[in-house]
């Protein structure tokens, strides 16, 4: 999708800093898929409304071939961004979608859904990210929906400094992303640096934000974030955005969102606001109440 004609340059007067660097933890999920958990429960309050970020990437089929068989979710949204490979989604309402190179699947679990994500390849590289975005208390029991967004439908632009930007969610430099969410206001950008020119992104002062570098390295106000590291961005009131300088070939995710400032209670695949709601989620799942229809949505 070529949206270059809508480009509006953004100028940041005071950049945020890197507050801390986070190294992901190697783990496995699903049927033994090897991945790196970059954002985990100890950072949920600090990076509210984001709950989790997993990075997966391997050219060894044994690391991913079994995928993620049927499993439930309630109370949040999942955003899967596939850099390389193919993954088939099936859900408890009988819908399915094929997530391919460069595509995004955005799913609202809401009151409950059971789905599976199974690789559709027996060799080659499988690489991507899964992000969990919290739902506000008022929306946790909303009807589930999902949307598949192929790579060619994702808005993209290139800055005058030759930074290529994919706008998965939110708005950047006048370009509206593929998805907008009204309460948490997520910004989700994939940045590709072909040179050493900087990239500037304005950010609301009250929004939490972080970077994840998956190739190369970048600097923010003199502090370096290397590949495989997350940089949590400071939240100083005087800062109006972030200025990123990177090596040629660097690829990184930039995320920001409006915090919900609500209690977070997570147990496995359920994220609610109280222990009682978690108990109810397990009860509803065991009783087979996660099989309701899922709506497709453009919002």
Query: In this predicted model, what pLDDT tens digit does every residue of 215-256 receive, in sequence order?
Result: 999 999 999 999 999 999 999 889 999 999 998 999 999 999
Query: In this predicted model, what pLDDT tens digit does every residue of 262-279 receive, in sequence order?
Result: 999 999 999 999 999 999
| 73: its two tokens | 């979710």
Sign of the dihedral defined by the CA atoms of residues 291, 292, 298, 299, in that order: negative
Name the percent of the chain lying above pLDDT 90. 70
Name the percent of the chain lying above pLDDT 70. 94
pTM greater than the 0.85 cutoff: yes
Residue 82 resides in a domain: yes
CA distance from start to end of the chain: 18
191 and 255 Cβ atoms separated by less than 8 Å: no
| 159: its two tokens | 């800055």
Domain containing residue 121: CATH number: 2.60.120.10
Residue 283 resides in a domain: no
Predicted pLDDT of residue 298: 43
| 239: its two tokens | 């800062």
Beta bridge partners of 146: 107, 296
Residue 272 resides in a domain: no
Residue 288 resides in a domain: no
116 and 70 Cβ atoms separated by less than 8 Å: yes
Distances, alpha carbon 29 to alpha carbons 83, 113, 142, 248, 268, in Å: 19, 18, 26, 33, 11
Predicted pLDDT of residue 6: 78
Other Cβ atoms less than 10 A from the Cβ of 135: the count is 26
Residue 273 resides in a domain: no
Residue 236 resides in a domain: yes
Give the single-character DSSP code of 161: T
**What is residue 82's three-state secondary structure?**
strand
CA distance 72 to 68: 11
Residue 212's domain comprises 4-257
| 104: its two tokens | 């995004």
Overall number of domains in the chain: 1
Residue partners of 111: CB distance under 8 A and separation at least 6: 74, 140, 141, 142, 143, 144, 292
Q: Report the mean per-residue pLDDT for the chain.
A: 90
Residue 21 resides in a domain: yes
Residue 142 resides in a domain: yes
Query: In this predicted model, what pLDDT tens digit does every residue of 145-204 receive, in sequence order?
Result: 889 999 999 999 999 999 999 999 999 999 999 999 999 999 999 999 998 889 999 999
Asked whether the predicted pLDDT for residue 76 surpasses 60, the reply is yes
Asked whether the predicted pLDDT for residue 99 surpasses 80, the reply is yes
């Amino acid at each position: 999708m070529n949206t270059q004609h809508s480009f509006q340059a953004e100028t940041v007067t005071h950049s945020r800093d890197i507050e801390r660097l986070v190294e992901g933890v190697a783990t496995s999920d699903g049927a033994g898929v090897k991945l790196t958990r970059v954002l985990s429960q100890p950072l949920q309050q600090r990076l509210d409304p984001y709950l989790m970020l997993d990075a997966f990437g391997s050219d060894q089929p044994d690391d991913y071939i079994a995928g993620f068989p049927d499993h439930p979710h309630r109370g949040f949204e999942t955003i899967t961004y596939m850099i390389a490979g193919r993954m088939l989604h099936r859900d408890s309402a009988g819908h399915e979608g094929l997530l391919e190179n460069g595509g995004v699947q955005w799913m609202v679990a809401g009151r409950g859904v059971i789905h599976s994500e199974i690789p559709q390849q027996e060799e080659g590289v499988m690489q991507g990210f899964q992000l969990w975005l919290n739902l506000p208390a008022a929306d946790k029991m909303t009807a589930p929906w999902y949307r598949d967004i192929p790579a060619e439908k994702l808005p993209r632009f290139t800055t005058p400094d030759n930074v290529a930007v994919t706008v998965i969610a939110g708005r950047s430099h006048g370009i509206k992303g593929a998805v907008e969410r009204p309460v948490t206001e997520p910004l989700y950008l994939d940045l590709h640096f072909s040179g050493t020119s900087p990239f500037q992104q304005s950010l609301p002062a009250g929004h939490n934000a972080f970077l994840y570098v998956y190739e190369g390295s970048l600097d923010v106000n003199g502090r370096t974030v290397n590949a495989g590291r997350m940089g949590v961005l400071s939240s100083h009131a005087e800062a109006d955005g972030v200025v990123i300088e990177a090596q040629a070939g660097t690829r990184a995710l930039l995320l920001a969102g409006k915090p919900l400032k609500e209690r977070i209670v997570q147990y496995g695949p359920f994220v609610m606001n109280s222990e009682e709601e978690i108990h109810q989620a397990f009860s509803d799942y065991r009783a087979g109440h996660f099989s309701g229809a899922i709506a497709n949505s453009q919002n």
